[in-house]
Structure formats: structure tokens, C-alpha cells
Amino acid sequence: MNKFKISFVSFCFIIALISMITSCGGAYKNNKTLTDSTKVPAKTAIVNKILPGSVEDAKLAIGKFMAKGADYKKLTNNLKPAIADAKALFITEEDAIDAMAYVNKIYKQEDKKQDYIEPKTNQTDVVIYSATVKDIKADNRKAYEFPGGYKKVSSRLKENMTIYMFEFAKKGEKYGTPYHCLVYVNNHWVMFSKIWKAF
């Protein structure tokens, strides 16, 4: 009787042990984050960290002009804003309408002269500056590189907007050919070139 009882206890212990091992193994199999094959590739992880409208995003947008065989006409015209974009940037609808009248004139002239955004052969670097409208109004250090025209027009712009300007420069140089008033509105990049001249 005792012999049978000991065997039964041993049997129960073995069953319990097998059950524990199986359950641990199953949990490990289900925990796919532990395996290399399911990790996000490094390149994808970096791209996912770039926020729309950020300096890094601006670099990607402008970097297209640096690519070999770039279609400068198409890339330039892709940055042409619509009235909805002007309304997103300017405080009043009246100013947005005036801004678009100027912008349409500028883009029409660029098409006529074929004077598109284009780096010169020896300009291999892109230098980007950014400042909020609030920075420009305060004329603080972040707005140091921005010409005085920006401050002239800043009272017409929404304070939460970030304005970018960029320059194509020779390698290692800080200054080059400047382009003005690149902004991110309505989920895309547009450029209001030297917009202070509209007022």
C-alpha cells in the first residue's frame, strides 16, 4: 500500500514538472520581442523618429534638390503654396490673399525665367536655420540669421508657426545662396519666398 502511494506521488510530481516546463516554453515562444527577426530595422527606426515639420524633416525635403538628376522645376513647383496654406500661416484672411497674390507672381516669374531652386555645381552642403514667429518678433538669438524682412511681416503671422530658411553652400562654408520662408502647413512643405515683400 505504501509502495503504491509513493509511486502515485512521484507520478503527480512528474506530471506537474512537465506542465511547468511546457508552460515556460510556450511563453518563451510567444514572446517574439526577444528574437532578432522581429526587431525593427535600424533604418526604419530612425525614419520613424523624424517628426513632420521638424528640422530633420526639412533636411529631407531640401535634400531632394541635392540628388543627382533632380528635377528642379518639379521640386520647386511642389513647394508652391495654395490659399489654404496661406490661411494656415497668416492671422487674417486678407493678408493670406495678399500673400498669395505675391507668391503666384513670384512662381510665374520663376517659370518664365526658369529660375528654380537649384544648388550650384560647387555647392554640396545645405545649411538650415529655424525660428518660431515668436522668436522673430522678440528678435532673439534663434532669429539671428533671419533678415529684417521677417520681423517686418511677423505681426501678420501666427506665433506658433516655425519658419525655416536654407542656403546651398560650398563644403564647409556657413553661408551660400539663401532661400526664404519654408514652412510646414497642412501636412506638407511650402515656400513663401521673401514674403515680406508682399506688404
What is the pLDDT at residue 174?
85
Indicate the range of 20-24, 55-59, 170-174, 186-190 predicted with least confidence.
20-24
pLDDT in tens, 142-156: 999 999 999 999 999
CA dist., res. 35 & res. 157, Å (int): 50
pLDDT band at 69 (very low <50, low <70, confident <90, very high): very high
CB atoms within 10 A of CB 58: 21
CA dist., res. 98 & res. 105, Å (int): 11
Query: pLDDT averaged over the chain?
Result: 82
Q: Please name every residue paired with 157 in a beta bridge, in sequence order, or none if there are none.
A: 90
Listed by start position, the domains of the chain span 2-39, 52-198
Residue 181 phi, psi (nearest 5): 60, 60
pLDDT in tens, 78-117: 999 999 999 999 999 999 999 999 999 999 999 999 999 9
pLDDT in tens, 158-197: 999 999 999 999 998 989 999 999 999 999 999 999 999 9
Q: Which residues contact 83 (CB under 8 A, 6 or more apart)?
A: 96, 97, 100
* Closest to 181 measured CA to CA, from 65, 85, 74: 85
